[in-house]
Amino acid sequence: MTVILETDNVVKTFGGLTAVDHVSISVQEGQIFGIIGPNGAGKTTFLNSIAGTYKPNGGHVHFLGQETTGLPSNIMCRRGMARTFQISQPFPKMTALENVLVSATFGNKPGAVRNPVHYAHEMLDFVEFPMPQNTPAQSLNTVQLKRLDLARALASKPRLLLLDELAAGLATGELGDLMDIIRKIRDSGVTIIMIEHIMRVIMGLCDHLAVIYYGEKIADGPTLEVAQNPKVAEAYLGEEYDL
């Protein structure tokens, strides 16, 4: 399989605090690659360092065979890397359709989308957005905002999609629908890296798993193998976690 993203000893510091400490991963095209670890472990900071929100203090990032270390997020988006955030960040007074239209228009290379309005409609339909598409974003609940986040990210035509705790705040009954949509995104040709705490989601979706613990990667491998690693159980899952 082709490597779509590779990081080599990425470091991110804030003053005297090392939030990401020489983390290396290799993501294969077509994978759903999970990242787990306790709160404050550096998982989101690591994604930010990949996606251009932060510039790493050390190490290298290669995306689609090219070094992209330190490139800003707008450039990374146009190169084919999109993301969602832990807390939804829509334009609140714009409609759902208008929010996705912004991404379809400005998140792609010029001319990549011939009919942005039609494409925005398609993306909302693809994620099974449950409300009228002219609904203002500020009127949406958590579940609806999660779908909008996915549609916005997909409207930039990513090759790699970064999902940061997308399942957070969802009821148990809603998780299955979300997992089905994530599988549909993967099956459409988009590789996925996801940070998640809900092990039902991790075990049900991820082909590969990396564990970050206080800034350091402590395990990396096939999901079941990593989940059964005693070091991971001690650091994160707990001794009573039952696969």
CA torsion, ordered 71, 73, 77, 78, to nearest 10 deg:
-50
* Length of the chain as a residue count: 243
Give the pLDDT of residue 236. 73
pTM of the model: 0.94
Give the pLDDT of residue 240. 42
- Domains (range + CATH), the chain: 1-80+158-243 (3.40.50.300), 90-157 (no CATH)
DSSP three-state, residue 212: strand
- Neighbour tally for 214: CB within 10 Å: 14
Give the pLDDT of residue 235. 74
Query: What's the rounded Cα separation, in Å, for the pair 29 and 31?
Result: 6
Residues of the chain with confidence (pLDDT) below 50: 239-243
